[in-house]
Structure 1
Amino acid sequence: MFSLAGLVSAPDGGFLSDGLALFTGQELSLREAEVGQATRQPKAALRLAHWLVEHGRLTQPQTVTGPDGDVLRLTPSPDHRLVNVEKS
């Protein structure tokens, strides 16, 4: 999976997945202000990408534990093409 999906920098300092939609139909969005310092974001994004591939397309908000023990809320966008991540 990771050879086909990656992370790109977002204008707000966060990250967007690139290619995750091939597996789940959705991309992942982590904003710096929501998830924390940029050095933690790629680790969180990797864990969440794994979670999404294992659990499938997200249709309802869900909470998960991030790699540093933070509770993260995953929320699908209105068109369900993006999963937004924020601290819960």
Structure 2
Amino acid sequence: MADTATQTPSGRPGNRVVLFIYAAIVAIAGVMGFILGNARPEDLDPELFGFIQLPPNAFGTALYGMITVAIGLGILLGLVIYVSERYPDA
């Protein structure tokens, strides 16, 4: 019988920790984007995915940073989850 004290309700230990770290990193990217947007560099032109124009202000750069980091880390995290579920435990 598995020790339920160290597992989440879904049966996978550590999922909450990983999701918390993921959300914290995305939030930090938003804060850094907001700070850089407040500095107002002259050539600030955030463009999401190469064709979605965002406003060149603090909120536009925060949104750009959050979406970019969320998608980049989300793809990597998804690949890790896929590989970890595909191969059985040793």
**When you count strand as a share of all residues, which structure comes out higher?**
1
Q: TM-score, normalised by structure 1?
A: 0.32
Q: TM-score, normalised by structure 2?
A: 0.31
**When you count helix as a share of all residues, which structure comes out higher?**
2
